[in-house]
Amino acid sequence: MKNVLEYLEYQEKSNSNKIAVVEEDKKCTYSELTNISKKIGSGLIRYVLPRNPVPILMEKGISALSTFFGAVYAGCFYVLLNPELPVTRLQKILEILDTNIIVTDERNKELANEIITNQKILQVEDLQKEEINEEKLKEIRNQTIDLDPLYANFTSGSTGIPKGVVIGHRSTIDFIDVFTKEFEINADDVIANQAPFDFDVSVKDIYSTIKTGATLVIVPKKLFSMPAKLLDCICDNNVTTMIWAVSALCLITTFHGLDYKVPTKVNKIIFSGEVMPLKHLKQWIKYLPNTKFINVYGPTEITCNCTYYIVDNKKEYETNIPIGKPFDNEQVFLLDENNKEITEPNISGEICVRGTALALGYYNNLEQTNDRFVQNPLNNKYKDLIYKTGDLGYFDENNLMYFSGRKDFQIKHMGHRIELEEIEMTMEKIDEIQRVCCIYKEEKSKLYGFYIGNISKEELHEKLKNTLPIFMIPNILMKLDEFPMTKNGKIDRKQLRELTNPAKKEEHN
């Protein structure tokens, strides 16, 4: 197998009339999804050559998904442009892609006109009316190989310029085949999509669905501010599988949503993106004691995830749960500051990954590609690329890996090297606290602790004095009603930093 369209076409033959995707009041069978995708692909081939990007400006949904596959039928790779992004960022992404087209829908046509320079706007409503050119589509398919790019997701760059992580067919197929087998995802599953389509968590939703013949339910974004209606959606659609960001799961437990309704048909909850607070995990386990909970870890650059850990629902975890062991056909190891491998337990090092799962690199950015995808320092005999994640981890005595923070989250404060995650974990153990995030402003040499919970700043400070050395207690504690979130469902640390400015700080005192 060398192309993800083989997943789709197998389901079109085997489960032609089965519902593939549900989007609010719309549904789409596997036959309809394949047919629409071929029409879009047949239209695209007149405007773009194979192995080139197809930027797609539209909200997640059936149209976006069929355009993804349409781009692949045209031999290209897709890039979802989230309409919620600032115009300047969308323009920067288009500049990096250096393409001559952009695909959008009627709803976003005005925005498309605002961000383009010399790109031609193609409307999906028109592409869906094209005649299928089977001969040309077959010719293009015969020229593809499994190393061709499939999609690109743009992540933030340390230089302030977004980086387009390009993932190939081979990497996606290799990962999804293992992912669905390991977690027993099958045709009976209904997968609730939480993640935006420009975030790689959605890759697991999309390709687990078409690999197995499951049904994908696209949960409307607006429901993630309405926990009761969110749970209604999950229950009404008989969802069995949730592959969600930690913050999305915590939203439900923070507002005691499970007291309102329990999604009893959910048998797999796979979470990632941030460290799962134990008190929130315990709440989920309390209401769904027979559900399988799985912690998965990995950056975008290694195709979704590289390690996993299946939670023991009856075990009392004292600190964090492990990120576990590598997926099949991926090697995950630790390097110290001198590029020497760490194998002893309880010694922290940088998490590094090698294997088929590695991205093809950053699009139109060979300099940063060569900086992060490097020769394995443990092998000087032949080309052997690894990805250095910038994350820190350590092994326990059972050879399970734990995440212990970012290299860039390690700070030096009052002469001490401190991991912000350690402060956060300590604060989260306090019963009255729901969620926590710490940031450090080096220019002011101050630690800030943001939290949601029923405890005053004074009481919290007194409790922290009992568990942390003075140099690890945040200089300033700020109580919030809710955390600002990024579009990918993570705590928005940039907005938190803005809250530390004097005028903003007054509002939270």
Amino acid at 304: C
Q: What is the dihedral of CA 240, 245, 247, 252, to 10 degrees?
A: -10
For residue 428, give the H/E element and its range.
helix 420-428
The answer to whether residues 375 and 388 touch, using CB atoms and an 8 Å cutoff, is no
Rounded to whole angstroms, the Cα distance separating 454 from 431 reads 9
Tens place of pLDDT for every residue, the chain, 509 residues? Answer: 999 999 999 999 999 999 999 999 999 999 999 999 999 999 999 999 999 999 999 999 999 999 999 999 999 999 999 998 888 889 999 999 999 999 999 999 999 999 999 999 999 999 999 999 999 999 999 999 999 999 999 987 655 578 999 999 999 999 999 999 999 999 999 999 999 999 999 999 999 999 999 999 999 999 998 999 999 999 999 999 999 999 899 999 999 999 999 999 999 999 998 889 999 999 999 999 999 999 999 999 999 999 999 999 999 998 789 999 999 999 999 999 999 999 999 999 999 999 999 999 999 999 999 999 999 999 999 999 999 998 999 999 999 999 988 777 667 787 676 878 889 988 999 999 999 999 998 778 899 999 999 999 999 999 998 888 888 899 999 999 999 998 778 899 889 999 998 655 555 55
How many residues does this entry show for the chain?
Answer: 509
**Which pLDDT score is estimated for 507?**
52
Rounded to whole angstroms, the Cα distance separating 315 from 311 reads 8
Rounded to whole angstroms, the Cα distance separating 260 from 251 reads 14
Q: Is the dihedral of CA 406, 407, 408, 413 positive or negative?
A: positive
Nearest to 207 by CA among 357, 34, 4, 66: 4
**Which pLDDT score is estimated for 509?**
52
**Which pLDDT score is estimated for 442?**
76
Can you state the percent helix, strand and coil of the chain, rounding each to 5?
35, 25, 35
φ/ψ (deg, to 5) at 386 = -130, 160
CA 288-291-292 angle, 5° bins: 140
**Which pLDDT score is estimated for 157?**
61
Rounded to whole angstroms, the Cα distance separating 87 from 92 reads 9
For residue 55, give the H/E element and its range.
strand 53-57
Residue-wise pLDDT tens digits, 346-391: 999 999 999 999 999 999 999 999 999 999 999 999 999 999 998 9
Token pair 């190989």: residue: 145
How many Cβ atoms are within 10 Å of 77's Cβ, its own excluded? 24
Token pair 């590695």: residue: 358
The answer to whether residues 493 and 439 touch, using CB atoms and an 8 Å cutoff, is yes
Amino acid at 125: E
Rounded to whole angstroms, the Cα distance separating 82 from 94 reads 12
Rounded to whole angstroms, the Cα distance separating 231 from 56 reads 30
